[in-house]
Amino acid sequence: MITGLSASYRIDYAVIFAVAGLAIHYSLPRRRNPSLRDVPGPPSPSWTFGNMLQLLLPLHYGDYEFAWQKKFGPVYLIKGCFGEDRLMISDLQALQYIFNSPHFGRGPAPENAMNLLLDKNAVVAVKGETHKRFRAALNIGFTPSAVRNYQPIFERVAEKIAEQLDKCSETQALTDIFPIMSPATLSAISEAALGLSSRDLGETFVANNEHIIWLSSHQSSTQIVLAAIASRLPRIVREAAMHLPTATFKVLRTVKSLAHQIGRRVIAEKLAAAQQGVNIRTDVFGMLLDPEQSDLKKKNVLTEDELVAQTGILMIAGQDTVTNTLVFGCLELARHPEFQHQLRAEIHSSLRGPYSASAYESMPLLNAFIKETLRFYPPEAIQELVTVKDTVIPLTDGIKNAKGELMNHIPVQKGQVVLAAIASYQRLQSRWGEDAHQFRPSRWVDGTIVQGQAVGPYANLLSFLGGPRVCLGWRFAILEMQVFFSKLVGEFSFALSEEDCLRTRYGNMLVPITPSGEKAAPLYITRI
């Protein structure tokens, strides 16, 4: 959930006035890349906002973005705030190059958000050889065998969700499932990563964490322009802003501090338990702190301070992304009652007796449904990147420029902002079929999908990104969703109100909203 947070924190008007002078200077358009002059794209309706309101705040997410892709192809030029050129890319070969090339780094907005919320030694923040070492160390807790060990945790949490849904079904009223799913995914990641229940995290951490999630799901035109201004300010100014006495920055500071405290407490308790001969290899931190592991692979062992620095990113990345996917999945089941019935029949016939990870893997409809939900609602619909040196982006089939000439590659200069249009890539008809804009899980079992070159770690999707910075926890998330959906669909039915008036909004991730603009997913829930 890192990318969009900087567009979600609120800044007091006093802060706006304080940076006004700097903003005027840094908001001037940067020198245009001559090679982009002939790249087609939509006209900009505003110098202040460029195309960003159309991209980020349409009535339904994708209203403009998917239309632009249809008209201009998988590569086109849009305007950011203050006349900035931004390349929008959903081309397969281009995305492969971007995610695997060392010539691209995080864009200004996600970089700001990361500095605000996470420790400087979080795995997503470090670079180069340090990043490789951190990933090698952390991967111990996310291998296929390690993830299988977390299955009992997921099943216990799923039982708790079922207990809450039972109470909701008794009322026979519409129930917003967000307040049920969000604490459940927090509990799952807390137990699997740290060995702590969500209660052990403390009320203050949980409350502030929920506030950050709320902030990250809301976005306005004011926040978009403020984020653009903030991204152009000197780093020393941005870092100083973290210490301002505003309510939002206080929440960010509190979560960061409490994550450190929790991490240190967990490490101390596990090291003490290990000295007494207790098996601590039951969660991610335990595996990383295991004395035998430390002796076997010392070069990939994190120091205690480095491990503490991972606490925040594990908790944040492991909660909100899975929550939103679960919620969208339940909404689509409610919209497709016939498929919901078919999936329930598969679950009932497949899961008898003790469950194993292989049992979940052997259900074609369940896994097709998860893949389709991730395709249709990628957690990170757009990733903002920036070139760190001049480079040339290759294209799959090329595009026609404004002169009608074929461009097979696009030279870009250092400092160019590139938007990896993940949601658009996952709607490409050439990849997913003529009905790519429809939610249809059967495409994954009927041969509709064109396999082609592989991107991403799962089902040729970029929902978990790709390349050296692919999501470490993708296997964790898939098994968690397999367990949760199997339990929920197997025991409950989900239905919408007569008027399905929910829309999809882009905050930092895609979220469903009501006509009044509130993040919510009200459903009728019935015990089977």
Binding-site residues for heme, in ranges, read 471
Contacts of 448 (CB under 8 A, 6+ apart): 432, 433, 442
- Classify the phi-psi angles of 143: left when phi > 0, otherwise alpha if psi is within -120 to 50, otherwise beta: beta
Contacts of 428 (CB under 8 A, 6+ apart): 69, 74, 90, 92, 436
Q: What are phi and psi of 421, to 5 degrees?
A: -85, 80
Residue linked to tokens 């000295």: 275
Q: What are phi and psi of 406, to 5 degrees?
A: -80, 130
**Number of neighbouring beta carbons within 10 Å of residue 143:** 12
The answer to whether 376 and 439 are in contact (CB under 8 A) is: yes
CA triplet 228, 244, 203: central angle to 5 degrees? Answer: 105
DSSP β-ladder status, 85-89 and 417-421: parallel
The answer to whether 138 and 288 are in contact (CB under 8 A) is: yes
- Annotated binding residues, as ranges? 471
Record the tokens describing residue 203, joined without a space.
Answer: 């009320």
Record the tokens describing residue 33, joined without a space.
Answer: 């890349």
Q: How far is CA 369 from the centre of its chain?
A: 18
Residue linked to tokens 């338990």: 273
User: Which residues face 382 on adjacent strands?
Assistant: 421
